[in-house]
Amino acid sequence: MAHRICRANRRHLADINRIITGVNIGGPLDEIPDLFWFARADGHIVGCVGGEFVDDDTFIILYLAVERSHQKKHIGMDLLDHAMRYARGRGAKRFALITMYYRFNWFKRRGFGTIPRAQLPTAVRDHWMFTERRYMKCAAMIAPAQV
């Protein structure tokens, strides 16, 4: 299935919130973060990913999600690759994310490793996604930029 990755803006908020809440990875967003992309397939938005720099060389992956009906079609992998390629081009040397434990093998195959929260770099450890109570049951993962 062909899909295209595009930069998201405010007009995509409703579709992105539908995806994020539909796969139960978080509550709806109030605004689209500056670094946010979506995948379009079959004429509608089917996946999304965001990210943000927490320091000059560390990029946190946020809200990687694909509609259930479009999973296992490489859309999530392409979204992740797109966000990481963008961040690498702007100097990222490290990537971090949190994920449910049943998904961490998917990220391990892409070069991420689990890490105790106490061993995370300070900028990552203090990021809201790594401190928010609802995400404390999630696995913290980190990868070098060459993945």
**Eight-class DSSP state of 125:** H
| pTM to 2 decimal places | 0.93
Q: Which residue has the tokens 């049951």?
A: 137
Q: What is the pLDDT of residue 15?
A: 97
**Eight-class DSSP state of 38:** E
pLDDT higher than 80, residue 1: no
CATH number at residue 90: 3.40.630.30
Q: What is the pLDDT of residue 102?
A: 87
As for how many domains the chain has, the answer is: 1
**Cα 78 to Cα 17: distance, rounded to the nearest angstrom:** 20
Query: How many beta carbons lie within 10 A of that of residue 111, not counting itself?
Result: 15
pLDDT over 90 for what percent of the chain? 87
- Residue 106's domain comprises 4-144
pLDDT digits (tens, 9 = 90+) for 93-140: 999 999 998 888 999 999 999 999 999 999 999 999 999 998 999 999
Amino acid type, 44: H
